[in-house]
Structure 1
Amino acid sequence: MTRSCKELIINQLVLVLSLPVIFGYFGLTAREPILSLSQDLDPSQMYELGRHKMSSGKMCEMLKLQKKQKRMCRRGKGVAESLLEASKLSLYECRYQFKSERWNCTLGQYREHLLRKGFKQTSFLYAISSAGLVHAFARACSQGILDRCTCDESKHLENRKAWLWGGCGDNIRFGLKFTRKFLKRARKSGKDVRAKVDQHNSRVGIKVVKDNVNTTCKCHGVSGSCTVKTCWLQLAKFHAIGRVIKYKYETAIKVGAQTNQATGKSQLVKRQKQPKPNNHAHVHVQSNNLIPKRGDLVYMEDSPNFCRRTKHSPGTSGRLCNKGKNCDIICCGRGYNVQHITVKRACQCQVIWCCKVNCKRCETEEEIYMCK
């Protein structure tokens, strides 16, 4: 086998491992996947897609979108690439936030069944998905990937301090506008309770990105003085967005539906045990106290424990854990097996003037712990 063939195969394998949407992907509606690729792609297609050699039109066909969303995908340069980036960004963050828990964002064949349920995990997926959309498209504007927008120069904002708006800010306004329009194209009905829950959680993800925009500044002046500052709007790192949404996941509120007597429309309300009425008194609960806030993640059903393999997850058997930290939780009390492995790492490194580092390869014996 020639060297070029070997390199091509290695590149394809790296791409297969790096594309999250092949074995684990999720959507933004309970019925149809949105930001996902077809699972029946051959390696050459995946390689071509990963290198962005594929045309945007063809990429839009491969992305599992609804008809109106496909029209949005084809409308301009860079939209398909940004959708793919949003999908990867969201899934990587989901895996990062849940890497030490029983459910570690393993989707793939379990995705469809998971999205049918109103678990807390499903709520997180909706929120992180919409957050990924806003983040990817706002950043794509400033990077020149999209031809429909540019940097946000924040000319609409008043400057009352001794600095000027400038630089190349992330175009938050475009990211918000595109995401809301894109998700609106996915909605089939907003009347049933589950649709209201999904829409609420999607809005939570959008709100988190919007609320975590920073003003970044750079000084200009003689000899390092700061006579003039140029400032621009910058998105928070997506890890920071993920941490906020994960906290909201931890404090998520269980909800149900209740008909508003004044308007006749159903609304989401917190589920809580109501005192039993007796013959002498009628207990009235203020509905305003039961309505979840705009920033709260909400869910409808209690999650399974994810210990054993079900249609919702592969279980935790065979999962790696950290002894003394999370093995008891992840292994669900079943215990773990200990394996000894040999690990090669760079060691005894020396810096050679000016720009070269020489290291030796050292072998160490380590223990790993796998759930039974």
Structure 2
Amino acid sequence: QAVVSHMRVECKCHGVSGSCEVRTCWRALPPFRKIGSVLKEKFDGATEVELRKIGTRRQLVPRNAQFKPHTDEDLVYVAPSPDFCDADPKAGVAGTAGRECNRTSRALDGCELMCCGRGFHTTRAELVERCYCKFHWCCFVKCRQCRKHVEMHTCR
């Protein structure tokens, strides 16, 4: 539904030196990022629902009465998501212990959020990277190796 509603019509002209004697049109898929953004927005606004008998019919209604009824365009769910903080192999959840996080970020990759309040370990590491690369005619690239000291943060 998200893909179909965001498809667009593209056309190409055929004819002598660019004239548009014949025009061929088709429906094109939207950019993948666009669909991802649409679905993420719907996911963030999803409503938990339950099946209730209303009169003679069974309907999905918001579990919390404060929420408005959903539309056909809304995303709904009947069971809450698992707790992603702790490992739960049965649910396919790896947990966040041992995952690398960003100490200064306030976003989803930040240690405060990702580590679920358990804190994080900080270790210093030395990275060896290719640097000062130069292209030599013909046909190879020659690089130096640079050492860089970094702090790595992992969830407890």
TM superposition score normalised by structure 1: 0.34
Higher helix share: 1
Q: Does structure 1 residue 322 correspond to structure 2 residue 106? A: no
Residues 128-147 of structure 1 correspond to what in structure 2 (within 5 A)? none
Distance 2:81 2:72 in 1: 22
**Of 341, 350, 353, which aligns to 2:125?**
341
Over the aligned positions, Cα root-mean-square deviation in angstroms equals 2.9
For residues 213 and 273 of structure 1, do their structure 2 counterparts lie closer, same or farther at Cα, with a shift above 3 Å needed?
closer
- 1:59-74 to structure 2, matched below 5 A, reads none
Counterparts of 1:363 and 1:266 in 2: how far apart (Å)? 65
1:249 aligns with one of 27, 39, 43: 43
Question: Secondary structure of the residue that 1:329 maps to in structure 2?
Answer: helix
| CA deviations over 1:114-145 (Å, ceiling 9, x no partner) | xxxxxxxxxxxxxxxxxxxxxxxxxxxxxxxx
State the alpha-carbon separation in 2 of the partners of residues 257 and 268 from structure 1. 5
Question: Percent identity, aligned pairs only?
Answer: 36
Query: Residues of 2 paired with 1:245 and 1:367: CA distance?
Result: 35
* Cα drift, residue 260 of structure 1: 4.0
Show the 5 A alignment for 1:1-372. 207-217=1-11, 222=17, 227-228=19-20, 231-261=25-55, 264-273=56-65, 290=69, 292-310=70-88, 311-312=90-91, 313-325=93-105, 326-352=110-136, 357-372=141-156
TM-aligned CA deviation for residue 339 of structure 1: 2.1
For residue 268 of structure 1, report the CA deviation from its aligned partner: 1.1
SS in 2 for 1:318: coil
Matched position secondary structure for 1:309: coil
Given the superposition, is the C-alpha separation of residues 354 and 227 from structure 1 closer, same or farther in structure 2, using an over 3 Å criterion?
Answer: farther
- Report the CA distance between 1:348 and its aligned residue: 1.5
The structure with more radius of gyration: 2
2-structure distance, mates of 1:328, 1:293:
35
The answer to which of 326-335 and 352-361 deviates more is 352-361
Superposed displacement of residue 248, structure 1: 0.9
Unmatched 5+ stretches in structure 1: 1-206, 275-288
Deviations 1:57-84 (A, max 9, x none): xxxxxxxxxxxxxxxxxxxxxxxxxxxx
Q: Deviations over 1:257-315 (max 9, x none)?
A: 12242xx23121122337xxxxxxxxxxxxxx63x212211112344543223343232
TM-superposed CA distance for 1:247, in Å, is 1.4
Structure whose residues are more often strand by fraction = 2
Letter in 2 for 1:238: F
Partners of 2:140 and 2:24 lie apart in 1 by 37
Q: Matched residues in 2 for 1:239 and 1:253: separation?
A: 23
Secondary structure of 1:267's partner? strand
Query: Can you list the C-alpha shifts for 1:182-236, whole angstroms capped at 9, x where unaligned?
Result: xxxxxxxxxxxxxxxxxxxxxxxxx0011122334557775xxx64475533212
Equivalent residue pairs, number: 146
Inter-partner Cα distance in structure 2 for 1:216 and 1:306 = 42
> Aligned AA for 2:134?
Q
Change (3 A) 1:317 1:254: same
Q: TM-score, normalised by structure 2?
A: 0.73
- Specify which structure has the bigger relative contact order, considering alpha-carbon pairs within 8 angstroms and separated by 6 or more residues: 1
Name the aligned partner's letter for residue 259 of structure 1: K
